[in-house]
Amino acid sequence: MRACVISDIHGNLHALDAVLAAITEEAPDEIWCLGDLVGYGPRPNACCRLVEREAAFSLCGNHDLGVIGTIGLDGFSDDAAESARWTQSVLDPDARVFLEALEPLGVREEAGLYHASPVDPVWEYVMSPEAAAAAIVTAPERIVLVGHSHLALTFALADGRLAGGLAPDGTELDLGAADRWLLNPGSVGQPRDGDPRAAFLVLDLDAGRATYRRVPYPVAATQQELRDRGLPEPLAVRLEVGL
């Protein structure tokens, strides 16, 4: 199994198009999506359609659940809640049906997939070594895939020692070098690790290798769509700095 893993698309169609073009060149067996297809971004319906068509497996995230009304918007920031309410107002029936069928966790081959974390699949941000260690010991799977923080991250547990941190473009892992792994591919549509390019992960379970990838996309086109729809300006500004 050779999978390309995507996460946190957030209605950014131009970023998703760029990632899917790069994934086509990788020719994986499957595409896996870790959730948050919508929220923040201006093209939620097109992103849902593309993920439904292209991904073999998809989770939902907290923004998807907020938009379809499974969870309330109380825990959302003001800009996130405003964009979620706008997304509710434009969401197609087909996209809603697709999102309503998704779960925030699942299993694919030897990998456990969680939108946020094995401890709390909807809300916990795994960014610190302590949170990564708790996630790794909670999950039954050897390889844990999470999204939600919008940071490309890798943590490895080998001989009882945990090591890891940010995983910039081109980071390559030998998955045989540690007992347990926690990997976050980073975000397609709203990166927050200082690299504004769209992120994905190539996970080759047969070869025991993982590679972190970033691809440029026309940020200005998504910013224009955000402004055309009257969505909060900070959501446009953050895309060009990747924070």
Contact set with Zn ion (CB under 5 A): 8, 36
Identity at 96, one-letter amino acid code: R
Nearer residue to Zn ion within complex by CB, 11 or 28 = 11
Nearer residue to Zn ion within complex by CB, 146 or 156 = 146
Bridge partners for 43 per DSSP:
none
Minimum distance, C-beta of residue 21 to Zn ion, in the bound complex (Å)? 22
Minimum distance, C-beta of residue 39 to Zn ion, in the bound complex (Å)? 7
Nearer residue to Zn ion within complex by CB, 125 or 209 = 125
Minimum distance, C-beta of residue 192 to Zn ion, in the bound complex (Å)? 9
Minimum distance, C-beta of residue 148 to Zn ion, in the bound complex (Å)? 6
The 3-state secondary structure of 132-168 reads HHHHHHHCCCCEEEECCCCCEEEEEEECCEEEEEECC
Structural contact between residues 99 and 60, judged by C-beta atoms closer than 8 angstroms: yes
Q: Using alpha carbons only, what angle is made at residue 168 by residues 164 and 173, rounded to the nearest 5 degrees?
A: 55
Nearer residue to Zn ion within complex by CB, 28 or 35 = 35
Own/partner long-range contacts of 130-134 (Cβ < 8 Å, ≥24 apart) = 132/162, 132/164, 132/182, 133/157, 133/162
Nearer residue to Zn ion within complex by CB, 33 or 210 = 33
Nearer residue to Zn ion within complex by CB, 13 or 178 = 13
Radius of gyration of the chain (CA): 17
Minimum distance, C-beta of residue 226 to Zn ion, in the bound complex (Å)? 16
3-state class (DSSP) for residue 73: coil
Q: Nearest to residue 56, comparing CAs of 122, 13, 124, 113?
A: 113
Q: Which residue is nearest to Zn ion (CB)?
A: 36
Q: Nearest to residue 137, comparing CAs of 112, 102, 101, 164?
A: 112
Minimum distance, C-beta of residue 50 to Zn ion, in the bound complex (Å)? 17
